[in-house]
Structure formats: C-alpha cells, structure tokens
Structure 1
C-alpha cells in the first residue's frame, strides 16, 4: 500500500498537522485500512472544505477517494455515485441532462461522502432539509467490515452517520434523489433591508414562497443600521422565463474559476478598515428591490468558487468560521448576538443568515428549526476567543448549537450539552468500531468517542 506523509489543515488554514495519506483505490484489502494504522487513528477526507480539524488526524491515517463520476448511475431521479465524487463533478455531468443536486452548501467542492458526514445544508433548508434527507442508502467501510446501509432498514447506523463527521466509517458509495430542472438558471429576487428587524420580518413573512433564501449581513454596522443586509431569494427558472441565448441553450452549465487568490497575502489585509469599506460598498451596490432577475446556478449558489483558493486572502494565520443556530422564537437572542458582534467590531465580510426548517433524526446533525448565522473571522482579532465562548453560552442557553463541520475552537463540555444524543451516537459507533480506530482531531478535542 502506497502512503505519503502530508501536512494537512482545514479550510480555515489553522491547526496544521502531519498525517499519513492513502488513496482508497490503492488498497486491495479494506481490512488493512484500519489494521495498518497502528492505532494512531483513521479518518476519511473529502475535498478538505471542513473549516477546522474534522478531516485530519495528527500522526494518524487520512483516507481519500478519487473524484470519479464516469461510472455513476441514474435511475429515475436517483443517482448513485462513489463517496469521493464532488458536487462539482455531479453538476458538470448532470445539469446539462436536466438535474440539480437536492442540497448544496456555499461551495460545490464537497464530496458526497463529506456531504453525508457533515449533513450539509443550503439555502433551501426551510423547505427541503439537509442533504441526507434525500439519501436512500450508502455503503460504509468500518473495522468490522463493509455495510450496506438503508435509510428504512438500518435507521440507527444511517442517522448516526448523517452528521457524524466521518466517525462511523468511510462512505464509499451513496444513492440520493436529484431535482429535475428545466434550465441552468435561477430566477431571483434581491432586496436590501435597513436593519436586522426588517430582514427577519421579510424572511418570516415570505421565505416560504421561495425555494432558496439567504441574507448577507453587515456586522460592522452600528446603531439603527445594525444587521443591515442584502436578502437574495430564488427558484429554478423554467423555460418560459428565459429569453435569447439562454432560451436557445437552457441547460448550458458554466462554472469557471475566474481568478486565483495569490499564494501569499500579508496577514492583516482583511481588517476592520478594509472589511468596513467592503461592506459599505456591497450594501450600497445592492438594489432596494429587484425582482425576476436571471442568474446562473454558479453565481447564485457558489460565488466564492469563482476565486480559486479564496481562503488565502486571510493570510498565513488563517481564519475561523463561527456558525450557530437558535430556535424559532429566539429572535431576540439572535439580535443580541449580532449587537455584540457589532459592538466588538468583529471584522467579517462574509456573514450570512438563513432559516432552518424541520429537524431530521441525525444524532449529530446541526440544523434545527430556527435561525442560523455563519461568519468568517480572521485569526488575531483582540479578545475573540473569550467573545466566542460567551456567545457559545448564549446559544446553548436557548437550546441552540454550533456546527461541527465549521468548528475549530469549541470545548468538549459545551458540545456535549448542545448535542444531547452524543452518548447514543457513541454506542452505535462502538458496534461498528469496537476498538475506537476511527477518530479525528475534532473527535479527540471534543471527546466525541
């Protein structure tokens, strides 16, 4: 078996560790995946877009899979692919055939195995739920063998794996339902909201009329402008809504990387001054209300993917993403947190608010009905650690939680309180992995196993 020692980190470019990386296709006997790791730990890694330490293990083995879609199978609306296949590959292959993935996060560079392990959500959670809501079965390699997991027949293992951060095994194949579409475009509405109260009122009043909804928030705004935002909502455009060249080639899918972030950017380039200027420009350029716009799928869902390696713009120190959810009825808590972030001058040019719909059965799945705010924060801001610890307490106090796929700094006791079914998860995992061979830096830090 060919292995290679590599320096790995999450998308936030922090917590760099050395691991033994092995490609699954080079393994002839799957039992060797775990037995030859010498107890140091094994974890699967997809496209490396988990922000923190979820897909790495210091001194252990990281298993990767090829992003290969050539033998994918579509039966009706159900697609079966290997676990290493990315949403990017699926979109390139199937949008021209009239299909879209059921759920996508803000990047298309996510593997299907990673999508299940993190139980990803998108702009349509308020109506369609998470990715695993649309998965019917998957194949899982564990130290006890290879298991064919059916959502209806193997509920415990299925819902432990959904959101289980790869800790139940390596997902090597999965079947999920695709969305039939008539075009590679979105009919969208853009609306500028003067503050957080106006934004929440608009979203509560009319989000259900749109399949997709997301709001960018200016966290640098003060006073009566706190929470000023740009709300973008939309649905898949149908043929009758297209004109000109778009109507001639309605399913033409274009998703290019237009720019590449420089390999070296001075730490501190993104600071309070630069982000405040960016936020002012971004807010002012947005229309007060524009309806029936036509946008490409790539520009609507994955604008940051247009900049290759965009995480470099935070410099060598990197950044962290903080994402939390608070339940419906806790709008005052959300407002309080936004006010605290604003008062502290937290410099985040990427802060997005979405609404979550119904909760699924995932034992470690993040979403629950309510409001979720995600923000990127450069490392090095003064008193950031103590502020986020205090916000953790605010979120926990109202029955909320933070997202494991984004986390790089929470404490184990806090996470255990936020996810009360961790003990049940650990029991199911122990049957699949009785010797505790599957682990990650995240699971060790938080005591998940």
Structure 2
C-alpha cells in the first residue's frame, strides 16, 4: 500500500520531512502496511518535535478510528477507538458530570496519542499521568497479532505502550476511567509571586487544597525579577456553586498566515512579560473559569504556532528531581535570561509522587519547566544543549513528545528503562525521533 507522499508537520513545525501517509478507518482490519519501510501511528500531530514523524517512512493516520463504543454514566468508564480526540470525549462526558482524569494543555489530541505520550496536566500532584487512568487497550502489531493490554493482561506490553511513542504497535481501542466533577466551571485564585522561593512555598501550600496548580514564569527576569510570575490554583465548582453560570462564548481567533519572521523576539518578550506580570494589580485575585478557559486557553487561537515564523519553534520541557529543584530551576532561568531567547508562555510546576505505569513516561517527582524557543539558528540549539547539561547533571530528563534535537546520550541518561523498552518495540514501527536517539543510544 503506497500511500500519498506528504509533509505532515508536528506542532513545532520543525523538522519538515517527506513521508507517505495511509489512512486507517476500520479497527478490525489489518494494518495498512507498505511493502517495505517503517510505519508509525499519527493522530492529530500535536507532539512538538519529531516523535510523531517518520521521515522517509509511512505514517498511519488514525483519525478515521473515531467511534465511541460504550460509556457507563454511572461508573465513568468510556471505551472508544483510539482516533477519538479528547475534545470529543469531553463533549460526550462533561454534560453527564465526567471529565478527563488528566489532560494536557490542548484537547486536540487523540486518545491513542494521549496514551502513547502518557500526557499529564495541572493535577499531576494528585492524580498523576493519563496512563494511571487507562483500564485497558487493544494493541495491533505489524504481524497481525492483537493484544488486549491491561495491568493484569499482557502487563509488560501495557507498560511499554504507555509513554511508548507509538513504537510498540497501533492502539485501536481503549477504555478510560473518567473523573467525576460537579460542574463545567472551576474556581480559585491567581497569585502574583516575586521569586522562586515564593513559588515553591505556594506549591507546597496549594498541593493539599487545590486539585489544579500551575504557574507562569517570566523567563527573561533577572536579578530582583528572576523567578517572578503568576500562580494559578483551582478546583471544580459544585453544581450549587456554579448555579446560574454560563460559558462565555468568545469570537474565534486564528493566525491566518505565517509571518516572514518570528513575532517572538527579545523586544516583544520583554514588553509582553512586563505587561503580563503587571496586569494584575492585587497580589491575590479570585477567579472563575470555564473548562476551556482554564485548561485550554491556547486552543481558542487556531494555528497559534504560526507566530514563530517560517523556521518554526522548539518546545523544551524538562523535569528535575526534588533534591536541588529550586537551585536547578534558578540555573535554567538564568541561562535562558542571558540568552535573550524564550517565549511568552512559560510553565513551571511541581510534579507529584504518583508513579506512572509507563516504562518510558516523562513525569517523575520534582519540578518541570516548559517553554518555546523560536528557531534562530545555531544559537538556539546551543542554548538547549546547555540547558540539557544542567538537567542531566541534576538527574533529570527531557520530554520526548516536545523534543526535536536532544542527543542520544541525554535520552539514555534520562530514561534508564530504555533497554527493557527495546524488547517491546514492533519491528516495523519507527519514527524520526527513535532513529535519532535510540538507534545509537
């Protein structure tokens, strides 16, 4: 099956690679295997780097696997095909009082992709990663074998596929345990803080009282402004608390074209970050949000990734263990501020202690920092190499779903179970990421 030659992109719009695309719409059918070469499942392309790309190979587009199979409104268990998006699950489940147990910052992710990247969200300190809430899934291997995987059945493939980046086979269907919520609204506070010490104090204080916590950091802060930002914490409101509230409908926004140069640069960053930090006059502001406004603010702007210009951007997300997390976070922010590179939206959060079932899952206890870098040439790649060195020295790791450039040695040091994982990789499955970091690791 030849497929069409195309250049589907990851969300970072880098790298750009030619590959063939074939479509799959029947979960009971065989994998649409080409005569030769590797294959890789491809959902909505919201990974940022090359983990969802297969340059010179074939992508199996899974959005045609879009059927709901069952939904138990009493228990919150939902079963659907792997091409169903998180947005579609929310649309079905939220009116009945159920929400995703863990969600990334976009709902335009397929169920299969959420499992394969073991996504996490603002409630990791309580509920851990997405994989902890997956009850089971079917894994279709290139030899035609179909494995029912759960913690009790084919548990080794279950562990390898959660966070396995689509390399163990194609997930065709999955059962997920949803989370009971009282309404479609959240209430909480936005708190201005002026230093990393304040951030860590707020994190420790809020972990016991708030289900969702996250912060924005000024990545260009230096001296007295280093580590300043806004801390958000929230809980779902009960039906009584949300009575009479209505979701606000905002006008659809979009970035219609890619500008000739990145709109994110030192001048715009400095101005934006100062304005964003000072937009709130009081230290603590009471807030209410709809689900989309709190969890998915960027989803309201179609094609926002175009603002980084024709070269695209690199998202960088790292986690470092608790031992030196405050000092390491400071070192990372200082290095970024010196470079003058960075993004408007920088996320700093403390992960919890719940261990994922996934062999190759990214989150671990400690602090995670995530931000975007417009690609400015070699200077950008050298900066990220310097950040890698700080993270590796601290015993941390880089998120594979966000990466397009880390070295094999960096990957191997961050993911000690890589040799065990290799045993479960399907011989026909590969990706540009896997060939870059695993074949020489």
Give the TM-score, by structure 2 length. 0.94
Q: Does 1:310 align with 2:304?
A: yes
- CA–CA separation in structure 2 for the residues paired with 1:255 and 1:58: 40
Q: Does 1:134 align with 2:133?
A: yes
Q: Which residue of 2 aligns with 1:91?
A: 90
| 8 A contact 1:276–1:347 mirrored in 2 | no
State which drifts further: 278-287 or 83-92.
278-287
- CA–CA separation in structure 2 for the residues paired with 1:27 and 1:135: 19
Per-residue CA deviations over 1:160-210 (Å, capped at 9, x if unaligned) read 111110000111100011011121101121000012221122112322311
- CA–CA separation in structure 1 for the residues paired with 2:361 and 2:163: 4
| 8 A contact 1:69–1:89 mirrored in 2 | no
Per-residue CA deviations over 1:64-86 (Å, capped at 9, x if unaligned) read 12366553311221110110010
Q: What is the CA distance between 1:139 and its match in structure 2?
A: 0.6
Q: Which residue of 2 aligns with 1:44?
A: 41
Q: Which residue of 2 aligns with 1:188?
A: 188
Q: Which residue of 2 aligns with 1:362?
A: 358
Q: What stretches of structure 1 of length at least 5 have no aligned partner?
A: 247-252
Q: How does 1:341-380 map to 2 (within 5 A)?
A: 341-358=336-353, 359-380=355-376
Q: Does 1:404 align with 2:400?
A: yes
| 8 A contact 2:272–2:344 mirrored in 1 | yes
Q: Identify the match of residue 288 of structure 2 among 290, 294, 305.
A: 294
- CA–CA separation in structure 2 for the residues paired with 1:254 and 1:151: 41
Q: Which residue of 2 aligns with 1:441?
A: 432
| 8 A contact 2:20–2:57 mirrored in 1 | yes
- CA–CA separation in structure 1 for the residues paired with 2:248 and 2:158: 34
Q: What is the CA distance between 1:254 and its match in structure 2?
A: 7.1
Q: Give the 3 Å change call, closer, same or farther, for CA 73–237 of structure 1 in structure 2.
A: same
Q: Which residue of 1 aligns with 2:23?
A: 23
Give the TM-score, by structure 1 length. 0.92
RMSD: 1.9
Q: Does 1:150 align with 2:150?
A: yes
Q: What is the CA distance between 1:153 and its match in structure 2?
A: 2.3
Q: How does 1:157-236 map to 2 (within 5 A)?
A: 157-236=157-236
- CA–CA separation in structure 1 for the residues paired with 2:77 and 2:253: 34
Q: Does 1:385 align with 2:359?
A: no
Q: Does 1:332 align with 2:331?
A: no
Q: Which residue of 2 aligns with 1:249?
A: none
Q: What is the CA distance between 1:383 and its match in structure 2?
A: 2.2
| 8 A contact 1:14–1:318 mirrored in 2 | yes
- CA–CA separation in structure 2 for the residues paired with 1:294 and 1:234: 8
- CA–CA separation in structure 1 for the residues paired with 2:306 and 2:287: 32
- CA–CA separation in structure 1 for the residues paired with 2:401 and 2:169: 16
Per-residue CA deviations over 1:43-77 (Å, capped at 9, x if unaligned) read 00111000011111112110112366553311221
Q: Which residue of 2 aligns with 1:121?
A: 120
Q: What is the CA distance between 1:256 and its match in structure 2?
A: 6.8
Q: Give the 3 Å change call, closer, same or farther, for CA 287–117 of structure 1 in structure 2.
A: farther
- CA–CA separation in structure 1 for the residues paired with 2:240 and 2:117: 37
Q: Give the 3 Å change call, closer, same or farther, for CA 227–332 of structure 1 in structure 2.
A: same
| 8 A contact 1:356–1:368 mirrored in 2 | yes
Q: Give the 3 Å change call, closer, same or farther, for CA 195–22 of structure 1 in structure 2.
A: same
Q: Give the 3 Å change call, closer, same or farther, for CA 321–174 of structure 1 in structure 2.
A: same
Q: Which residue of 2 aligns with 1:250?
A: none
